[in-house]
Amino acid sequence: MTRLLKKMSHKTGSPPGTMMHVGIEPLDTKLHYIRYNEQDIIELPTDDLSQLKDVPDAVDWVHIQGLKDIEKINKIGQHLEVHPLILEDIFNENQRAKTEDLEDGIFVVLKFINYDKSTNQISIDQVSIIFRGNMVLSFQNTDFPIFSIIRDRIIKASGRIRKMQADYLLYSLVDLVVDNYFTVLEALDDDIEVLEEILIKNPHSEILQEIYRLKREIIVIRRAVWPMREAVSTLNRFDNPIVNETTHIYIRDLYDHTIQVIDTAETLRDMISSMLDIYLSSISNKMNEVMKVLTIFAAIFIPLTFLAGVYGMNFHFMPELALKFAYPIWWGFTISIVVLMLYYFRKKKWL
Amino acid sequence: MTRLLKKMSHKTGSPPGTMMHVGIEPLDTKLHYIRYNEQDIIELPTDDLSQLKDVPDAVDWVHIQGLKDIEKINKIGQHLEVHPLILEDIFNENQRAKTEDLEDGIFVVLKFINYDKSTNQISIDQVSIIFRGNMVLSFQNTDFPIFSIIRDRIIKASGRIRKMQADYLLYSLVDLVVDNYFTVLEALDDDIEVLEEILIKNPHSEILQEIYRLKREIIVIRRAVWPMREAVSTLNRFDNPIVNETTHIYIRDLYDHTIQVIDTAETLRDMISSMLDIYLSSISNKMNEVMKVLTIFAAIFIPLTFLAGVYGMNFHFMPELALKFAYPIWWGFTISIVVLMLYYFRKKKWL
Amino acid sequence: MTRLLKKMSHKTGSPPGTMMHVGIEPLDTKLHYIRYNEQDIIELPTDDLSQLKDVPDAVDWVHIQGLKDIEKINKIGQHLEVHPLILEDIFNENQRAKTEDLEDGIFVVLKFINYDKSTNQISIDQVSIIFRGNMVLSFQNTDFPIFSIIRDRIIKASGRIRKMQADYLLYSLVDLVVDNYFTVLEALDDDIEVLEEILIKNPHSEILQEIYRLKREIIVIRRAVWPMREAVSTLNRFDNPIVNETTHIYIRDLYDHTIQVIDTAETLRDMISSMLDIYLSSISNKMNEVMKVLTIFAAIFIPLTFLAGVYGMNFHFMPELALKFAYPIWWGFTISIVVLMLYYFRKKKWL
Amino acid sequence: MTRLLKKMSHKTGSPPGTMMHVGIEPLDTKLHYIRYNEQDIIELPTDDLSQLKDVPDAVDWVHIQGLKDIEKINKIGQHLEVHPLILEDIFNENQRAKTEDLEDGIFVVLKFINYDKSTNQISIDQVSIIFRGNMVLSFQNTDFPIFSIIRDRIIKASGRIRKMQADYLLYSLVDLVVDNYFTVLEALDDDIEVLEEILIKNPHSEILQEIYRLKREIIVIRRAVWPMREAVSTLNRFDNPIVNETTHIYIRDLYDHTIQVIDTAETLRDMISSMLDIYLSSISNKMNEVMKVLTIFAAIFIPLTFLAGVYGMNFHFMPELALKFAYPIWWGFTISIVVLMLYYFRKKKWL
Amino acid sequence: MTRLLKKMSHKTGSPPGTMMHVGIEPLDTKLHYIRYNEQDIIELPTDDLSQLKDVPDAVDWVHIQGLKDIEKINKIGQHLEVHPLILEDIFNENQRAKTEDLEDGIFVVLKFINYDKSTNQISIDQVSIIFRGNMVLSFQNTDFPIFSIIRDRIIKASGRIRKMQADYLLYSLVDLVVDNYFTVLEALDDDIEVLEEILIKNPHSEILQEIYRLKREIIVIRRAVWPMREAVSTLNRFDNPIVNETTHIYIRDLYDHTIQVIDTAETLRDMISSMLDIYLSSISNKMNEVMKVLTIFAAIFIPLTFLAGVYGMNFHFMPELALKFAYPIWWGFTISIVVLMLYYFRKKKWL
């Protein structure tokens, strides 16, 4: 199962602002730049960000994948005058989702959730976005091409993205991260549906493991999702003049989606809890069944065995033994006991 | 059981404002128009909404049932200058109930709940309402004639609906959706009453399935009902000059009803939870009973069987065997053990 | 057990403002009028309310018991210019407790709780009060003479009621309803005390039914009591000039009482929940005891029976059988096994 | 166990402001007066409070113990112009802790908690304090000398109490009541520590009774303690000019203590809940152990008994019986079954 | 396990402002002074604090370890004009984390958490910090060198600490305490991961003890951590001009960390609760398995033993006994019963 915390104890005690990667093994750093406006689009050829300057009419999107090359990312940060504490946050994968006002821009940290259907595993990747003027800087530390859909959309000029400013790009990135939660929650909802079927028909013990896995995953998702609400709501509240009025409508819509994600996560959590309660009860139910079978067998045959034992005794003087019809009488007696017991258990509704 | 989420994963990643239906199989699109004032009522004959213009004195109600014909609905939307994001919301059945201010009108999304008594199934349909000036546009995607009662009321001019403006029509539609929850909650209350009776008298295992069904249904209802509170409260708070003072009293009443619905849902939820707790305890109780029966039988007859076994042994030198009254003495001993055990269990209050 | 919801489904869909009784079978309508001031008191002789007009110096109290005669009550309402929605609320017994500002008065809905000691049944009656100028109108739909104490107090001029205005009468009525909750909560507290005694000494299965009854009753009471807090607090916050300064102190005191009622209800609920938890644990405990008895009997006698069985075998060559002291040796062996087993179970603290 | 509610049903329906004692049997009324300033201290000799008038330089403390003499207390109240509703509150021991603004003073109701170590019983006494100008009036209805420590401190002039005004005396009284909760919570913490030890080592059934007692006591304490927070916070917020600036620092400190009390009570409650959960699980664990012992015995010896039974049958033609080594072979077979079963149970980790 | 409350009952009743140590055995008092600015650093040689005066350019840090010498600490306090109530708080280890405005400075109380990996024990030490002008006074009562990392950093001039004012030193101390929680939470997260592995594979009874330990520790951590949020948030909100603008960014970052700590603690708590639920269910599961084994053995062999017993009876007239193939027929019958039972249990999915 996914660990909750990325190991960071080695960092405790180092002075604040120290650049040090906290989290899973960082990947090699790769940069992708795109500069576009409604008419043109350039994929910038250089690895050297010092050439990058805000061009008033175009939108610049720098996407940095893999956080291994601390040196290089640091240099980019210094070039763009990013506060050391912001850079520290980008390197620390234990951040909660949040939105910070940078005076001349916005800094957003989000948790991208990824569900591997083959292994039923959830993984959570941290995505950091700096938005400033006409430029958007985004960071991630995994192989998964989170934002490739948006790159495609820009290149193919589909939707309105090419007609809009950098704030719309920021919105698009955040929206993609939020919408992806639905995919994961749907997958969990599917799993729950399957489990419910089993739970009611034949609750075996593997189901418990499944319920626990779901419960744990929903705990992890909730942890990622609740702070996102505040992050998006902060985005929504910004009076930042660099966010255009037209984009504001989209951000409000984005906030609605975030609430929906939380709402769904909470409902799924309620359902999983209910399933566990029901599971416990149905296990008790099954044990009751088992006990009844045992009790019926024992209650019928133990007295009979005793009866058989009686006439297996070797006392010299046992008058019954010599009776002619003793044996059939004994059987009659025995069978009538069985019938009586069955009648008794039927009346008790055990049969 | 009803799925929580309508499949929408295929939509993730498409640019915002894309019209695409998310939810159950959409039905064929049918339009119903009514134009009425206190004196007259016209059921408009055309399928072409471009003829529709706000007539100052009359109320126009366009009800669109079935969301299959995206093209047509889109055209209507454009004709009436509805924002693409609003249209997207109408097509997406995963919306939460909400009220949005459209500057020149109000957009309301609600969840209509439907309880099929024959199958004990709850289904939830999304209803969207756009109110603007003298026009009300309503959308639904199911066969169930949700608003036919209101159409009848308009046609028969019963109540005050013909004397009022379009804002009262909006209120009437929302009120119908809210009031319908009572019907469903009452049905659940009936089910609970029946279950309680069984629970106390004879808790068998089918009841667990029933409790689970109720628990799940109340989870689904709560999810539909809580956002409705905010939606209606927003409606209540509107300073929108297009909502008349007279209608405001009705909307306040509507808000009261919504609170009552939530309140009842929460109480039912408490009751179902209590039932589950009690069920678990009574299953344990019953197992206790079963165990006692088993233990009494075992504790009485196992020692006796041993005693019988003793005198079934074939040792050559067993002086008791030859005694004249050994057999009756043995019976006396055996019976006194039974009596003692019964006394012991009675003292323990097991009998 | 009391139903949660009074049947109202037949009303869903009827236009708002429709007068229709929702709830238990309505009783015949009876009117009681009293007009009083410090010096005089008149029990008005007429059944016709049109004679009733606010007399500046006197307080008029009209108490209407039984809501069957919708016609008549409706006429009174129209005569006194009561809004149809208010009248609808009076007829609908599914209201929550609430206080509404009527501009020229106050409308209060309360739930009167009644505990029938003989049947251990709680019943909840709706009480509606309209206060306006010098007049108080109160409505109830049950036989129980809720307000007879106050009528007596007015007639005997005990306390300060005759010296005060109609707002004090309003306060007195609400105070009576609130204080009555204490009686019921005390009765529940008594029941809990009795159950606790049993729970610890000898938790049998009937107690579960009792716990469930209490749990359900406290759910019903909480549902009645929480909205009352808001109702009384609204009363408290009124800047309504028709409520006198002197009465305000009493209303603040009333609010204190309401909080106390809620507080007590919540505490009782906690206690009942604890009892259920404890009950489940003690059932498990008892089962453990039963299991131990069974296991001890089985573990001692089953091996012995086997040993007896061995020497009951009919093999031709069993050298032990012919030994002179085989039988006493066998007994010695058997008894030492019993002793060993007893020692083992004693060490395990099962004995 | 302590009852939650003091019997008050006999009071329901009596007009507000009726002086009637509600609670445990009231004690005889005794008055203790002290008048002090920095230099002098007088224990006033008279029983007649009409002599008592605020002397500007001195602080007057009247402590009334035992609320039996309603007449006398009433007279004191009237002499000091205390509102009848305040007096009613003093007599009613079902009050919640609260602070009320009396315009010219403050009225505080508190719950003093007392833990009798010999009986493990908690008792709760109501303490009422009226503070006005230079006078403090305090009321209690039990024998326990709650405030004797403060009287001693005044007499010995220890601490700063003699140098301060009456507001500091008020603070000292409240502080004593609050601090006393720590003593009780510590005692509970001790009990919990003892129980934990037992719970993990050997959870027997008496522990359940203990857990229940603790759970119930913490419910009672929480009920007393939560309203105290609001009472002290109200005291803290007072802009009342009669509370001096220097005393304000102490009251803020007092508020800190109150929060700490609540915090500790909540944590203890969490712990007790955890203990109950653990208890339930360990009972199940123990039952599992018992069941395993039973199953191992039964599974080994029941088949063996069958085998012995087979060769105890009296069929005339049973070729094995006559074999020479049949008996030792039988034993070999039997023992190998035992070994196999033991191996099987060992592999299942039951042994 | 760590006690929740440090014994303080002996203090109840002593006048406020009394210096008396409450908590674990106090250590001998040792003072460490450092005076530094960007260029120089002096470890002050004297034990006499009266020499200490705020030097405008330098930062003075006095760290007092061990609270035994009340006299001496008191003198320092008086010399620096610390309010007696503040000193009382320093000596009382039952404080909650808090931040208080001292008009000319800030007083912070924090809980330092320490996790001893060898014993799996958590201990909580109270740290008090007074910040005023250019001076920071810190207090602790344990051997553990909490702040030695910061002393090293000052001495080696690593990071920016030597370039900053005393407010940055305050921040560094608080940051260290907060960051340390991550170390502890990580250790718990490790423990949980190990337990989860066991829980699913083979839930034995020692795991319960482990879960309880974790549950208790998380209760203790939550109690320490929640008030810290308010303490740091108060620090954050201070408009105190003595906290520089540059330091404010760091304090905001610190607040983020605190929220993260709480968030993680809450998630761990959820996980532990889930584990307990799952544990209870899997114990029930295992018991079910045990019961099935027992029932299968009993249900098969008890009837067989009866059958064997029948033909062990000594009736004189039992025609079957003399039949030639009676014995093999009996075996055939017996084996077919076994086969039938096995088939039955297989159909019931018990095998």
B182-213 pLDDT per residue, tens: 989 988 998 998 898 888 777 777 888 889 99
CA A64 from chain centre, in angstroms, equals 25
Instruction: Spell out which residues of chain D touch residue E212, defining contact as CB-CB under 8 Å.
Output: 199-200, 274, 278
3-class state of residue E136 by DSSP = strand
Smallest CA–CA distance, residue A293 to chain B, in Å, is 10
d(CA C288, CA C296): 12
Interchain pair D298, C303: CB under 8 A:
no
Query: pLDDT for A34-89, tens place per residue?
Result: 999 888 888 876 666 666 666 667 898 999 998 888 888 888 888 888 888 888 88
Instruction: Spell out which residues of chain B touch residue A290, defining contact as CB-CB under 8 Å.
Output: none
- Measure CB to CB from residue A3 to each of E193, E303, E315 and give the nearest one: E193
Smallest CA–CA distance, residue D257 to chain E, in Å, is 8
d(CA E20, CA E18): 6
Which residue on chain C is closest to B277 by alpha carbon? C276
Query: pLDDT for D240-259, tens place per residue?
Result: 667 788 888 888 889 999 99
User: Where does chain E have alpha helices with state H?
Assistant: 70-79, 84-91, 148-156, 166-201, 206-237, 245-310, 319-322, 326-347
Interchain pair D312, E314: CB under 8 A:
no
Q: Grade residue E268 by pLDDT with cuts at 50, 70 and 90.
A: very high
pLDDT average, residue stretch D208-215: 90
- Measure CB to CB from residue C284 to each of D5, D284, D321 and give the nearest one: D284
CATH topology of domain E287-347: Methane Monooxygenase Hydroxylase; Chain G, domain 1 (1.20.58)
Smallest CA–CA distance, residue A29 to chain B, in Å, is 25
Q: Nearest 5°: CA angle at A297, between A293 and A298? A: 115
**Whether the predicted pLDDT of C182 surpasses 60:** yes
Query: pLDDT for A106-122, tens place per residue?
Result: 999 999 998 887 888 88
Give the DSSP letter of residue D146: T
Smallest CA–CA distance, residue A1 to chain B, in Å, is 24
Number of H helices, E strands in chain B: 8, 7
3-class state of residue E112 by DSSP = strand
The confidence score (pLDDT) of residue D5 equals 64
| Highest mean pLDDT of the ranges B154-158, E201-205, E265-269 | E265-269
Say if E160 is an interface residue toward chain A (CB within 8 Å). yes
Instruction: Return the closest-CA partner of residue A183 out of B2, B14, B7, B223.
Output: B7
Say if E223 is an interface residue toward chain D (CB within 8 Å). yes
Instruction: Spell out which residues of chain E touch residue A96, defining contact as CB-CB under 8 Å.
Output: 256, 259-260, 263
The confidence score (pLDDT) of residue C50 equals 62
Within 10 angstroms of residue B28's Cβ, the number of other Cβ atoms is 9
Q: Domain D288-347: what homologous superfamily? A: Magnesium transport protein CorA, transmembrane region (1.20.58.340)
Query: pLDDT for C253-307, tens place per residue?
Result: 899 999 999 999 999 999 999 999 999 998 888 899 899 999 999 999 999 999 9
**Whether the predicted pLDDT of E48 surpasses 60:** yes
Least confident of B108-112, B159-163, C323-327: B159-163
Domain ranges of chain A: 12-282, 286-347
Which residue on chain D is closest to C247 by alpha carbon? D16
Interchain pair A285, B205: CB under 8 A:
yes
Say if C318 is an interface residue toward chain B (CB within 8 Å). yes
E-facing residues of D in 83-102 (CB < 8 A) are none
- Kind plus residue range of the DSSP H or E element containing C132: strand C121-132
Say if E347 is an interface residue toward chain A (CB within 8 Å). no
Query: pLDDT for D93-122, tens place per residue?
Result: 888 899 988 878 899 999 999 888 788 888
Instruction: Spell out which residues of chain A touch residue B204, defining contact as CB-CB under 8 Å.
Output: 349
**Chains sharing 3 or more CB pairs under 8 A with chain A:** B, E
The confidence score (pLDDT) of residue D104 equals 80
Of the two residues D76 and D302, the one the predictor is more confident about is D302
Smallest CA–CA distance, residue C161 to chain D, in Å, is 8
Q: For residues C74-107, b (16+ Cβ closer than 10 Å) or e, as one string? A: eebbeebebebbbbbbbbbbbbbbbbbeeeebbb
Instruction: Spell out which residues of chain C touch residue D276, defining contact as CB-CB under 8 Å.
Output: 277-278, 281
D-facing residues of C in 183-222 (CB < 8 A) are 183, 185-186, 189, 193, 196, 199-200
Length of chain A: 351
Q: Which residues, at least 6 apart from D350, have a Cβ–Cβ distance to it below 8 Å? A: D292, D295, D296, E290
Say if B119 is an interface residue toward chain C (CB within 8 Å). no
- Measure CB to CB from residue D326 to each of C270, C302, C317 and give the nearest one: C317
Which residue on chain D is closest to C302 by alpha carbon? D301
DSSP per-residue string spanning B70-126: HHHHHHHHHHTT--HHHHHHHHBTTPPPEEEE-SSEEEEEEEEEEEETTTTEEEEEE
pLDDT average, residue stretch D173-185: 92
DSSP per-residue string spanning C141-157: -SSS-TTHHHHHHHHHT
ipTM of the assembly? 0.81
**Whether the predicted pLDDT of C51 surpasses 70:** no
Q: Grade residue C7 by pLDDT with cuts at 50, 70 and 90.
A: low
3-class state of residue C256 by DSSP = helix
Instruction: Spell out which residues of chain C touch residue D15, defining contact as CB-CB under 8 Å.
Output: 153, 158-161, 172
CA distances from A112 to A27, A118, B25, B45, E39 (A): 17, 19, 30, 52, 47
Which residue on chain D is closest to C350 by alpha carbon? D290
Averaged pLDDT score across all residues of chain A: 86
d(CA D1, CA C194): 11
Instruction: Spell out which residues of chain E touch residue D273, defining contact as CB-CB under 8 Å.
Output: none
Least confident of B123-137, D242-256, E144-158: D242-256
Smallest CA–CA distance, residue E311 to chain D, in Å, is 5
The confidence score (pLDDT) of residue C339 equals 96
Give me the phi and psi of C288, to 5 degrees please: -55, -45
Same fold, E9-282 and E287-347: no
Decide: E30 and D176 in contact? Cβ < 8 Å: no
Chain pair B-C, CB pairs under 8 angstroms: 165
Q: Grade residue D44 by pLDDT with cuts at 50, 70 and 90.
A: confident
Above pLDDT 70, what percent of chain D?
Answer: 91
Which residue on chain A is closest to B17 by alpha carbon? A159
Instruction: Spell out which residues of chain B touch residue A229, defining contact as CB-CB under 8 Å.
Output: none
| CATH, domain B9-282, list 3.30.460.80, 1.10.490.10, 3.30.460.20, 3.40.50.1370 | 3.30.460.20
3-class state of residue B156 by DSSP = helix
Smallest CA–CA distance, residue C65 to chain B, in Å, is 25
Which residue on chain D is closest to E274 by alpha carbon? D277
Strands D135-140 and D59-65, bridge-based pairing = parallel
The confidence score (pLDDT) of residue C345 equals 92
pLDDT average, residue stretch C16-24: 71
Instruction: Return the closest-CA partner of residue D247 out of D175, D152, D181, D151.
Output: D175
Chain pair A-E, CB pairs under 8 angstroms: 168
Query: pLDDT for E185-210, tens place per residue?
Result: 988 998 998 898 888 777 777 888 88
- Measure CB to CB from residue B291 to each of C204, C290, C327 and give the nearest one: C290
Q: Which residues, at least 6 apart from C1, have a Cβ–Cβ distance to it below 8 Å? A: B193, B196, C213, C216
CATH of domain A286-347: 1.20.58.340
d(CA B12, CA B54): 37
- Its pTM stands at 0.86
Q: Grade residue C3 by pLDDT with cuts at 50, 70 and 90.
A: low
The confidence score (pLDDT) of residue A47 equals 67
Give the mutation candidate from A154, A271, A310, A337 for the B interface (greatest B CB count, under 10 A). A310
Query: pLDDT for B222-232, tens place per residue?
Result: 999 999 998 99
d(CA A338, CA B5): 55
Interchain pair E309, A313: CB under 8 A:
no
Above pLDDT 90, what percent of chain E?
Answer: 40
3-class state of residue E37 by DSSP = coil
d(CA D288, CA C291): 10
**Whether the predicted pLDDT of C143 surpasses 90:** no
Instruction: Spell out which residues of chain C touch residue D293, defining contact as CB-CB under 8 Å.
Output: 295, 299
Q: Domain A12-282: what homologous superfamily? A: CorA soluble domain-like (3.30.460.20)
The confidence score (pLDDT) of residue C17 equals 66
Q: Which residues, at least 6 apart from B127, have a Cβ–Cβ distance to it below 8 Å? A: B109, B110, B111, B112, B138, B139, B140, B146, B173, B177
User: What is the residue whose two structure tokens read 């207090």?
Assistant: E139
Instruction: Spell out which residues of chain A touch residue B202, defining contact as CB-CB under 8 Å.
Output: 349
Decide: B274 and C209 in contact? Cβ < 8 Å: no
Q: Grade residue D30 by pLDDT with cuts at 50, 70 and 90.
A: confident
| Highest mean pLDDT of the ranges B6-15, C34-43, C310-319, D71-80 | C310-319
Interchain pair B5, A185: CB under 8 A:
yes
Which residue on chain D is closest to C312 by alpha carbon? D312
d(CA A157, CA A163): 9
d(CA C264, CA D181): 21
**Chains sharing 3 or more CB pairs under 8 A with chain E:** A, D
A-facing residues of B in 292-311 (CB < 8 A) are 293-294, 297-298, 301-302, 304-305, 308-309, 311
